[in-house]
Amino acid sequence: MTDRHRGEARFEALLAAEEKVEPPDWMPDGYRKTLIRQIAQHAHSEVIGMQPEANWISRAPTLKRKAILMAKVQDEAGHGLYLYSAAETLGITRDEMMRLLHEGKHKYSSIFNYPTLSWADIGCIGWLVDGAAITNQVMLTRCSYGPYARGMVRICKEESFHQRQGFEIMATLSRGTPAQRQMAQDGLDRWWWPSLMMFGPHDSASTHSRQSMEWKIKRVSNDDLRQQFVDMTVPQAEYLGLAIPDPDLRWNAERGHYDFGEIDWDEFWAVVKGNGPMNRERIAHKRAAWEDGAWVREAAAAYAARRRDAVA
């Protein structure tokens, strides 16, 4: 038996036994490539996702809300760092991931290409966007790749808190003045469909799902996760007294799930391909931050080199 055959057999055995594949283990090239693509995309989403929220730090309605929002945005930066570290264990450098993002060769979640126009949008990001993110990420705690799965455990705990803070903002606005209730409804009207798009194309149009599920990277399909999110969120909207902007939404007793309308897939693909309302601004801001921070990276690298020399 060659080394490659032994590696392949061990990889298959790990998957079958529900054990984790770890960085030194042999893995198929496609498995490594898929993980780098998905984890890098996920990390970029966390980092770009800081922008729409940071837009409201200086305008949060109270000092307490400002402190909470700052902590949340910092959490997202932390998630990005765990995820970049997880991707690095697969043999790609952080500089390379940044280059690919800045050149438009790496994607990030479509959701962060929409603007945050009011304070209610911060509530909607927590309630809906973090809600959708957790729905997707709970399954990733069972991903077959160890560093990604372990990173997701901590991220999910923090995302749950984020979801609660967003829901609390929405609850406060919904119980407020007519203008505040209107602001909450307007936020829901604009964030509902983009939140459903976060789960990706229909299973029939998903290029990676079948293979990723065979490799136990993904555990639940895009459409099944989207359905879980709708079933969880509709009663929450009812509790808030807000109307979900979908005339086709209704409970289907036979299926035991909510039926809902069709996503505008032309809009989804336009956003994914770089033509959403905020794509250009998001990448321009990200690149400027990377360039402005060059001196910090250089100073940190020089400090690390001096310490190495001192130890040697």
Q: Does 49 bind ligand FAQ (CB under 6 A)?
A: yes
- Between 126 and 173, CB nearer to ligand FAQ: 126
Stretch that binds ligand FAQ, among 34-42, 60-68, 178-186, 254-262 (CB under 6 A): 34-42
Tell which residue, 102, 107, 93, 96, has the closest CA to residue 42.
107
Q: Which residues contact 284 (CB under 8 A, 6 or more apart)?
A: none
32 sits near ligand FAQ (criterion: CB under 6 A)? no
> Among 136, 134, 135, which residue's Cα sits nearest to residue 155?
134
Three-state SS string over 26-80 comes to CCCHHHHHHHHHHHHHHHHHHHHCHHHHHCCHHHCCCHHHHHHHHHHHHHHHHHH
Question: Judged by CB under 6 A, does residue 38 bind ligand FAQ?
Answer: yes
Q: How far apart (Å, rounded) are the C-alpha atoms in residues 285 and 85?
A: 23
Contacting range for ligand FAQ; rule: CB under 6 A; set: 57-65, 107-115, 182-190, 276-284? 107-115
Separation of alpha carbons 95 and 154, rounded Å: 25
* Residue whose CB is less far from ligand FAQ, 181 or 208: 208
Binding of ligand FAQ at residue 100 (CB under 6 A)?
A: no
Q: How far is the CB of 42 from ligand FAQ (least distance, A)?
A: 4
Considering the rule CB under 6 A, would residue 76 count as an interface residue with ligand FAQ? Answer: yes
Residues contacting ligand FAQ: total by CB under 6 A = 30
Write out the two tokens for 136. 């997707």
Q: According to the binding rule CB under 6 A, does residue 42 interact with ligand FAQ? A: yes
Of 59 and 210, nearer to ligand FAQ (C-beta) is: 210
User: Around Cβ 134, how many Cβ atoms within 10 Å?
Assistant: 19
Where does this chain bind ligand FAQ (CB under 6 A)?
37-38, 41-42, 45-46, 49, 53, 76, 107, 109-110, 125, 129-130, 133, 136, 197-201, 206-209, 212, 218, 222, 272
